[in-house]
Structure 1
Amino acid sequence: MSILVIAEHDNAALKAATLNAVSAAAKIGGEIHVLVAGQGAQAVAEAAATVAGVAKVLLADDAAYAHPLPENVAPLVVNLAKGYGHVLAAASSEGKNLLPRVAALLDVAAISDITGVVSADTFERPIYAGNAIATVKSADPIKVVTVRTTAFEAAAATGGSATVESIAGTGDAGSARFVGQELTKSERPELTQAKIVVSGGRGMQSGENFKLLEALADKLGAAVGASRAAVDAGFVPNDYQVGQTGKIVAPELYIAVGISGAIQHLAGMKDSKVIVAINKDEEAPIFQVADYGLVADLFKAVPELTAALDKA
């Protein structure tokens, strides 16, 4: 049967996480359709139509979808889902908010955060903070699945020639309303999409000291992350957090500074291509997963590294 992928977007542009979900759908096999639910989102639908592997784009243009409130989007997905064998979305905050509701309304299991596709009904997903991989087989008629984006290469954004079909929305459910949002604006790349991430932990000692990491990140064109300990201590905002209860990243280069390497943090970054650790404690668990380790005082090592990049 066909596969329905829920697009993530801001009504102006398609988010990269959708491309990873399309790749996962391609591994399952079957015709791939993409649902774009939004307001004034014609440009998003047209962008989704050019994604390689997509056969059809369903555009639900309705004021109820101006913001992706799951209370409004879930009934739409449920109405459509009965014509599909699989419903997929990225395992982002948006996808994890929406698809469990969809699964409950369909009375099927929600299969979360998959990292591999064994067959059309069998998937792999991490458990125990990524220390084990569970193989899950579903007998449900509709598989409702969220996809860990770092586990699947992004589908090509161009090369496709899907048709765009307008569909009716289900309207405002009336159970929730959008009040407002506060966004952190930065010229640095978004944490989950960055090729290089510089993260700090409790060893940074204060939020003021994170300026050392920001200077290094700016030289490298990197995003800045943090461990849960640093976030809980109030050094940096919550959206910096990398880990099991934060953001999952897999950049080409991950620099961990003053991070001990708790299991919770490792679960969010251990799939990085190259891991560099800077820590004064040579027994820190982070060194067990690091490709390169520097036992040193971070308050000397980081400025020296930044200065060396200036000269390069």
Structure 2
Amino acid sequence: MTLMIPSSSKFWHDVLILLIFGSSAGAASTYNLDTNLAGSSFFDNFNFFTGPDPTNGFVNYVSAVEAANLGLAGPGPNGAMYIGVDYSTTLSTSAPGRNSVRISSKQSWTHGLFIADIAHMPGGICGTWPAFWSFGPNWPQSGEIDIIEGVNSNDDNLMSLHTSPDCTIAGSGQTGTLQSNNCDGNLNDNTGCSSTASTDSSYGGPFNAISGGVYATEWTSQYIKIWFFPRSSIPQDITNGVPDPQTWGTPQANFRGSCDIDTHFANHNLVFDTTFCGDWAANVWTSDPVCSSLAPTCVGYVASNPSAFIDA
């Protein structure tokens, strides 16, 4: 089978480089490569989720076979891998939703240094809710880490944790702006604790304009930290395959405080997905002046405007 991809199409891509490092000899600053998810075998490491969207999105998640046949997942230009959504079908608002992909890693991890090189993301488009994240079994008992996330027209990345009760963060030692400090996933409409990035280039259109970059997430027993490095300033130690977070400076997010990390986070699978509307994007539709000017409702817009999602 040959996949024909229009040259103007852009998706989650260059998820070609997803490196997971494990600490050696108990030294948190010394890491050895554990797993390399890359190239033509990238999707062999993931399961395709096909159930109803847990966040109630207007989306139809397709299987691996369907994704390949529809051109929604597979090899892209320059050796990259891509993940896309349907951008040609006009839908009824009562239909299952727009075809998309959600993949979850077959392997799980507790602790590690997770490095993702991404050239393009589907952010900043009205109706979309893309995310790169991880979670453990029995949500929220084993925690959730949201590394990249946003909805509709926003261009600021939101990094979050969702946990069982009794986990709060201080919000210090980071360049991002603290939005909430209580990580309990059962409170405040499941908002968890979160920080927004300090640079617009870390998400959506501005991210894509600089050809993306590298997200690095360090998870230890003491903290969870997230860095973003634009394409032009990726640390040499990452490029050389010997990453040392102690040399990277202040992270965008520093999730540390009154929280026993090992009690609240374990056995995480990595996830890439793009959903539409749902519990977040639909609920803030009317407060987004860009999106609300396009249609009265999120679902109505997503159903009727497939070409809006060619970059998603």
User: Which TM-score band applies after superposition, normalised by the shorter structure?
Assistant: under 0.3
Query: Taking CA–CA contacts closer than 8 Å with sequence separation of 6 or more, which of the two structures ends up with the larger relative contact order?
Result: 2
TM-score (norm 1): 0.26
Larger Rg: 1
TM-score (norm 2): 0.26
